[in-house]
């Protein structure tokens, strides 16, 4: 049985992807701060509790995972704060940068040999903000653009191996990502993405002929929509 690691697996896109991988027959190691085996009720699932915004917790998780035989790594955990840059706290800046960029690079560093040996897959769940500029998103966009640059460079670095690397850039997706923000996805079905849309993209990538790689996979809602929360 092939083993996948999914970060941010306790909710939102990460949980939807983990469920999809279980249905495809993968064993899944799900990483999150409070995740438990019982959250999935599947013998193929195992949980690894880690705070990927914290360096020591992330390095401990990397050490534990390095002992595993991993065929698929999906970096999905992330956080966003969208405010004028001078209003962001130093803690918000460092947390966003570490969780969105440093943690995926550290996890990839630990698992890369295993992924290459297994002709595996590295899939980074990024953001539409990696390929466009939006106001109040300077730090978030920088972390996502950095993750895209990392994926693109690693793709070139590992092309002599059997590793497939894909950067998925979703538009606004209905998840708990927006719980603490001042806006959220539109209520209209054609103005937002669903977590299942991203899981569909992952499944598509895994079922493609191994000789072909979609290195960048951008998913947009048919129409643009956004809802501002009432204060």
Q: What are phi and psi of 218, to 5 degrees?
A: -100, 130
CA dist 42 and 163 (Å) reads: 28
Would you say residue 155 has pLDDT above 70? yes
Q: What's the average model confidence in pLDDT over 186-191?
A: 95
- What total of structural domains would you count in the chain? 1
pLDDT at 180: 86
* pTM of the model as a whole: 0.96
State the Cα–Cα distance between residues 25 and 176, nearest whole angstrom. 27
* Residue 60: domain span: 3-228
Q: What is the CATH number of the domain that holds 179?
A: 3.40.50.720
Nearest to 39 by CA among 71, 65, 14: 14
What are the pLDDT digits (tens) for 68-126?
999 999 999 999 999 999 999 999 999 999 999 999 999 999 999 999 999 999 999 99
The span from the CA of 60 to the CA of 177, in Å, is 25
For residue 231, pLDDT beyond 80: no
227 φ/ψ angles, rounded to the nearest 5 degrees: -120, 125
């Amino acid at each position: 049985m092939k083993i996948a690691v999914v970060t941010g697996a306790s909710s939102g896109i990460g949980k939807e992807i983990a469920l999809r991988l279980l249905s495809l027959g993968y064993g899944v190691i799900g990483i999150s701060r409070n995740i438990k085996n019982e959250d999935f009720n599947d013998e193929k699932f195992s949980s690894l509790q880690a705070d990927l915004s914290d360096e020591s917790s992330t390095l401990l998780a990397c050490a534990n995972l390095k002992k595993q035989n991993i065929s698929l790594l999906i970096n999905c955990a992330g956080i966003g704060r969208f405010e004028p840059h001078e209003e962001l706290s130093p803690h918000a800046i460092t947390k966003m940068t570490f969780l969105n960029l440093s943690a995926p690079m550290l996890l990839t560093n630990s698992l890369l040999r295993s992924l290459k040996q297994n002709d595996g897959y590295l899939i980074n769940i990024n953001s539409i903000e990696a390929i466009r500029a939006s106001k109040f998103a300077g730090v978030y966009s920088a972390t996502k653009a950095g993750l895209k640059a990392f994926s693109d460079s690693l793709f070139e670095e590992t092309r002599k191996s059997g590793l497939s690397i894909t950067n998925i850039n979703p538009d606004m997706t209905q998840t708990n990502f927006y719980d603490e923000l001042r806006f959220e996805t539109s209520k209209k079905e054609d103005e937002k993405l669903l977590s299942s849309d991203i899981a569909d993209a992952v499944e598509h990538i895994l079922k493609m002929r191994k000789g072909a790689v979609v290195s960048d996979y951008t998913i947009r809602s048919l129409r643009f929509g956004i809802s501002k929360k009432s204060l």
